[in-house]
A and B are shown apart, each in its own frame.
Chain A
């Protein structure tokens, strides 16, 4: 710029040298303002577009965040339901175990009762043998009485003795018959009780545990084991599902944390916006200085005015607000390296 001014002043002092034509200078610079306007427009376009994009990014991150929170809520609810189901399943399984235990005790008790019946029936055999014995003795006595009667003829003393023995045997027979009758009655009553009375089932839980086994209790034990295994398998699946739900919840929390961090990073747009606004302002300064030069060569501005209004790199530095701007400025101008000792967060 100083060389241009020198040439312009020389042109006035030494007319014989090729004159520097102000109209050519003005014409050459004529397009600069429009050029700067277009650049300014582009810069503001970038500001607008990045602003819209950053806003849209935040909106989407907020939406992702909301979805993650909803998902975390759903998963927590599912985990709660699964945990409750696992508890209920465990309770049902324990109840079934208890029921089967009672059934086993009940059947063992019933077996004991039936064995007692069998023992009593064996006692019936003894009564029958007794009757048979009495019957044999009666037959012999009857034969003796017949013989004595023949031999005695009119003398019937012996016959009376025989008759007395027969009477005694008859009495024993009556007693045996009575024994049989009462045993049968007792057995009938007990059988009725065994067949119709299941009240023992309710008392089975109070019965002492036993290591006895029967075909029936073995089968019941098998059923209990099968249902226990199934219950354990389902409980395992439920536990795995609860673990998976916990994992999903942790992932959701991590996702939320990441989206929050990402939302924070979008502050870059505000920083870039301010940097670009400074660039646009600097372009405006160049535009104004170009117009000043055109005004000067056209005679609309004095040399003093032109020099007073000229832009300078130091003025540009004074407009910087960010540490990064000052660092870049120093790097581009070869000035002293900028060091910002101020803390990024300061409470007064």
Chain B
């Protein structure tokens, strides 16, 4: 089963996205911030896709994306940034950090699942 890791400091966002993805048939791992997500990757969690917020306590999403790329087996795993941030500067930072795409909140369920199909064609 395809596993998606959700990283967001909002419990509401985590639950909302988890509900949408679970119904679509994905297994879901959650983390409240970048550091927690990085710890999970270090403990052997191997998601097929990561969807991360940008502005989070302890470790922001862009730093997390940069660090996640260094984790074993995570070099080519798609990382989507899902954020309220819309400025090009931040997008460029995320791209340089290794992010695969940028989604501005709110994103509808169909849009989200459509993007996932694009970055995970076989899933």
Chain A interface residues (CB < 8 Å from chain B):
51, 54-55, 58-59, 61-62, 65, 256, 260-261, 263-271, 273-274, 321-323, 340, 342, 344-348
**Chain A residues near B100 (CB, 8 Å)?**
347-348
Tell me what chain A mostly uses at the interface: helix, strand, loop, or mixed.
Answer: helix
Offer 17 A-B interface pairs, CB within 8 angstroms, sorted by A.
A51-B12, A55-B11, A55-B15, A58-B16, A59-B15, A256-B23, A261-B108, A263-B19, A264-B20, A269-B10, A271-B105, A274-B84, A321-B83, A321-B90, A323-B104, A345-B115, A346-B91
Q: Do B105 and A58 have beta carbons less than 8 Å apart?
A: no
**Is residue B102 within 8 Å, beta carbon to beta carbon, of the partner chain?**
yes
Question: What is the CB-to-nearest-CB distance from A268 to chain B, in angstroms, rounded to a whole number?
Answer: 6
Please list the 7 inter-chain residue pairs (A to B) with the smallest Cβ-Cβ separation, ordered nearest first.
Answer: A267-B106, A347-B101, A344-B104, A54-B12, A270-B10, A264-B109, A321-B85
Interface size on B, residues (CB 8 A): 36
Known: A271-B84, A321-B86, A340-B86. A265 touches B106 (CB 8 A): yes
Known: A260-B109, A321-B86. A267 touches B101 (CB 8 A): no
Q: Do A263 and B84 have beta carbons less than 8 Å apart?
A: no
Q: Do A267 and B16 have beta carbons less than 8 Å apart?
A: yes
**Chain A residues near B87 (CB, 8 Å)?**
321, 342
Q: Do A271 and B106 have beta carbons less than 8 Å apart?
A: yes
**Is residue B103 within 8 Å, beta carbon to beta carbon, of the partner chain?**
yes
**Chain B residues near A321 (CB, 8 Å)?**
55, 83-87, 90
Q: Which residue of B lies closest to A269 (CB)?
A: B12
Q: Which of B12-69 contact A (CB under 8 A)?
A: 12-13, 15-16, 19-20, 23, 55
A54 to B8, CA, bound (A): 15
Q: Do B85 and A344 have beta carbons less than 8 Å apart?
A: no
**Chain A residues near B86 (CB, 8 Å)?**
321-323, 340, 342, 344
**Chain B residues near A270 (CB, 8 Å)?**
8, 10, 12-13, 84, 105
Q: Do B106 and A346 have beta carbons less than 8 Å apart?
A: no
